[in-house]
Structure 1
Amino acid sequence: MIAIKQIDTSNALYPNEQDLRNRILLRPIGIPDHTWEMHDEKAWHFVAVENDTVIGCVVLNPLNPIKTKTQLMQMAVDTNQQGKGIGKLLVKELLSFCKSNGIEEVVCHARDNAVPFYLNLGFEIYDNPFTEVGIPHEHMRIRVAN
């Protein structure tokens, strides 16, 4: 059974989340481990756990002092678990958290291959495409109804 849990950097599952992010997102494109952790202390972390193993994760970073605008970052699902709806579970939990905590908007930098995933969850493309870490991306956002 897959459980979605909200954790912080002091949680015993955090090192497993870091490892997953490094394996799935950073190493395949030649970025050193732990490069994208600058916001981790202030961010909210959501992990998908099965049999005490982190198989998916997403980070929600506040973008303004009143924490009404946030950025979804570092979404990763273990390679052998992809296509099973784990990412969708993580984003739905993240959006539920936003609704309960007065967060009005979630933005993300979506890799081109992830755009359909986010569109299916209600996100929209805004602004112009751009390249980040050598990969084409779209600016995407969703407004959260409170």
Structure 2
Amino acid sequence: MISIQLIDTKNDLYQLERELRNKILLRPIGILDHAWEMHDEKSWHFVAVENDSVIGCVVLVPLNQEQTKTQLMQMAVETNQQGKGIGKLLVKELLAFSISNEIKEVVCHSRDNAVPFYLNLGFEIYDEPFVEVGIQHYHMRINLDN
């Protein structure tokens, strides 16, 4: 059974999360391992765990001092687990956490192929597409201030 857990960088599962992010997100596009960990200490980390293995993860980074605006980053699901709804479980948990912690807005930089995934979860595209790490991305956001 898959559980979604909120962890920090001191949790033993954090090392498994780091490895998953490197394997799924960074290595395929030639970025050095651990290159996107600059916000990890101040962020919330959500991991999908099955049989003591991290099979999915997403990081929520506060963007302002009040922690009312955040950025969803480093979303990854193990290759053989993709398409099974794990990413959706992670984002729904992240959004529920955001609402309960009075976060008003969650933004993300979505790779082109992930745009429909985020649209289906209530995010919207804003601003112009841009290139990040050599890949076209879209600015996306969801407003939780209802």
Q: Deviations over 1:89-126 (max 9, x none)?
A: 00000000000001000000000000000000000000
The equivalent residue for 1:86 is 86
The equivalent residue for 1:75 is 75
The equivalent residue for 2:103 is 103
SS in 1 for 2:9: coil
Identity %: 78
Q: Deviations over 1:60-83 (max 9, x none)?
A: 000000000000000000000000
Cα RMSD, aligned residues only:
0.6
- Amino acid paired to 2:5: K
Distance in 1, matches of 2:113 and 2:3, equals: 26
SS in 2 for 1:10: coil
Q: Deviations over 1:37-84 (max 9, x none)?
A: 000000000000000000000000000000000000000000000000
The equivalent residue for 1:45 is 45
- Amino acid paired to 1:17: E
- Amino acid paired to 1:114: A
Q: Does 2:142 align with 1:142?
A: yes
Distance in 1, matches of 2:145 and 2:6, equals: 21
How far is the alpha carbon of 1:145 from its aligned partner? 4.0
Q: Deviations over 1:2-41 (max 9, x none)?
A: 0000000000000000000000000000000000000000
Q: Does 2:88 align with 1:112?
A: no
SS in 2 for 1:92: helix
Q: Does 2:63 align with 1:34?
A: no
How far is the alpha carbon of 1:129 from its aligned partner? 0.2
Distance in 2, matches of 1:144 and 1:91, equals: 13
Normalised by the length of structure 2, the TM-score is: 0.99
Paired positions, count: 146
Distance in 1, matches of 2:51 and 2:104, equals: 34
5+ residue gaps, structure 2, are none
How far is the alpha carbon of 1:144 from its aligned partner? 1.1
5+ residue gaps, structure 1, are none
The equivalent residue for 1:16 is 16
